[in-house]
Copies of this chain bind each other. A is one copy, B any other.
Amino acid sequence: MGLAKTEMFTDQQNEISLFAKVFGHPARVAILQHLFKINSCVCGDLVNEIGLAQPTISQHLKELKHLGLIKGNVEGTSVCYCIDAENWTAMKTVMNEFLNQDLIENEDCC
């Protein structure tokens, strides 16, 4: 198969898994960390920065943009990228709610 049966899960569960999936590749983690570090728009030096081929980086950027986590604006022949602050914050809320679930210590039940 290779495709998840999303219809048997809640919207929240599917949303969490979609966000997590996009973080599930180190290149996309690296791209996001770089955008945070620079803290301004990056105009296309990501290929040198990351070390993968240009089409590969372009594809990862597309996935990040598709989920709304980054924005890309054309500037002449190059394209500038930056974090979409609003959507990043919204994503954080969803992920934190999942990650920070309370675990009442339970004497290691089993």
Contact = CB atoms under 8 A, between A and B. Distances in A.
Nearest to A73: B110
Q: Which of A13, A20, A91 has the most CB of B within 10 A?
A: A20
B5 A52 contact: yes
Contacts of A105: 85
A67 interface: no
23 contacts: A6-B26, A8-B51, A8-B52, A13-B26, A13-B29, A13-B30, A14-B26, A16-B26, A17-B26, A17-B28, A20-B20, A20-B21, A20-B23, A21-B24, A23-B24, A33-B101, A36-B101, A40-B109, A41-B109, A41-B110, A73-B110, A95-B99, A96-B99
